[in-house]
Amino acid sequence: MKKILVIIMLLILFNIYSVNAKERVNLYLFHGKECPHCNEEIKYLNKLTKKYKNVHIKYYEVWHNKNNNELMKSVKNSFDINSKGVPLTVIGHYKFLGFSENTKEQIKQAIEDCSYEKCIDVIRVNKKINIKKYLKVKNQVIKNRIKREKHIEKIKYLTSLCTSFVLFINLIILYKYIYD
């Protein structure tokens, strides 16, 4: 009887903690070699990839490489960005110009979104994004984030129920051993 209960509980726990595979996330960083903000972001991204193993960073130095600069201009044109500044970070259909504490959180959120929902990879597609399509995809990502957060809440609730159930079973077994 005990073996069956243990097997059932293990199956339930493994089923609860099974996680869907994360999507590969390509992160593109357009930067200048001597740019202090760019260098700060590069250090941050290197640390971030230790946490997010599914993130692949592609660096494009644009101040000394004409081809990379042309690619950055094309990407900025796709996003209707008029600034010539760097760093420019692109994750799926998200773009971040400059680097600050606020940008760090936005980059993390974009990685999370694109990890669970396939995002349009603007660099790979390499064509101008239709704004309506962009907004539609962005709204879908937001809806999926809300669903994911609700799913996490359900998992937490089920985990607490399972924990309570296991404790209850342990109390019953303990009671049986004490009084039998």
Residue 6 lies in a domain: no
Residue 19 has pLDDT above 50, yes or no: no
Same domain for 122 and 96: yes
Name the band, by pLDDT with cuts 50, 70 and 90, for residue 18: very low
pLDDT above 50 for 16 = no
Residues 99 and 169 in one domain: no
> Could you tell me if residue 108 is inside a domain?
yes
- The DSSP line for 120-138 is P-HHHH-SPPPHHHHHHHH
Total count of domains within the chain: 2
Q: Are residues 59 and 92 in the same domain?
A: yes
Distances (CA, A) of 110 to 107, 117, 147: 5, 10, 16
Q: Token pair 């009671």 is at which residue?
A: 175
Let me know whether 138 and 125 are in one domain: no
Question: What digits encode the pLDDT tens for the residues 100-147?
Answer: 999 999 999 999 888 888 787 877 765 445 555 666 776 777 778 788
What CATH number is associated with residue 118? 3.40.30.10
> Which residue range(s) make up the domain with 46?
25-129
pLDDT of 31 > 60? The answer is: yes
Q: Is residue 173 part of a domain?
A: yes
Kindly state whether residues 142 and 179 are assigned to the same domain: yes
Query: What torsion, rounded to 10 degrees, do the Cα atoms 81, 25, 125, 77 define?
Result: 10
The model's pTM: 0.63
C-beta separation of 64 from 33 below 8 A: yes
Do residues 144 and 84 share a domain? no
The pLDDT, as a whole number, for residue 28 is: 96
CB 41 within 8 A of CB 73: no
CA distance 16 to 10: 10
Q: Please indicate, yes or no, whether residues 88 and 172 belong to a single structural domain of this protein.
A: no
Same domain, 36 and 53: yes
- Supply the mean pLDDT for the chain: 82
- Does position 89 have pLDDT exceeding 50, yes or no? yes
pLDDT value at position 168?
Answer: 87
Q: For the chain, what is the radius of gyration of the CA atoms?
A: 23
Strand 25-31 to 94-97 pairing: unpaired
Same domain, 52 and 77: yes
